Structure 1
């Protein structure tokens, strides 16, 4: 039985985010890119994460915390980010376990198109922050 995709959609990893990681497709929406980036963290695919990061904010390298295991993704909302937009945001909550303790990362991420492809820019500014 094929491994389920870490992004939470009802599909096998190889047919879902794995296809994007392998370069067999590109994210059509900002949410799809967000899901694929979460999955890349879950499977520790630093190359994909760096390729899908905006050139102006991309780090030179990426190291993973060996104790962190990503356990689930919730998409809380989004603005723009469709196939017809050039920018968008995706608010999410990512769950993980580290050293036996549960934790979560909550972020409203900003995405834009660079060379026609969706890329992650950074955390979106939220009113009141």
Structure 2
């Protein structure tokens, strides 16, 4: 399978926000912003265990919303701040639909959509 026919996506994410970039059709040459997902985080809770469980559930929901924008992914490059990228890669490998996707990561500061599109285009070319 040539690089041109692979479903390639890029994700910039931190623990509260994600921008997903990809090609709208497999034949398209140009990457575009496909969507954004927000994770509001958990509100304060007097029970530490309940707060932790709620935070985990919100993170899983955040990951599922991101993955829903990237159906049948062949390759994904995840960039951003913190350790959330590694958690997202683990989520993908633990999900049967995405377990065969080739995943790469890098660290970067927050960038606007246009800059992310350029970054991901250069990564996959």
TM-score by length of 1: 0.26
Structure with the bigger percentage of strand: 1
TM-score by length of 2: 0.27
Structure with the bigger percentage of helix: 2
Which of structures 1 and 2 has the larger relative contact order (alpha carbons within 8 angstroms, sep 6+)?
2
**Rg (Cα) greater in structure:** 2
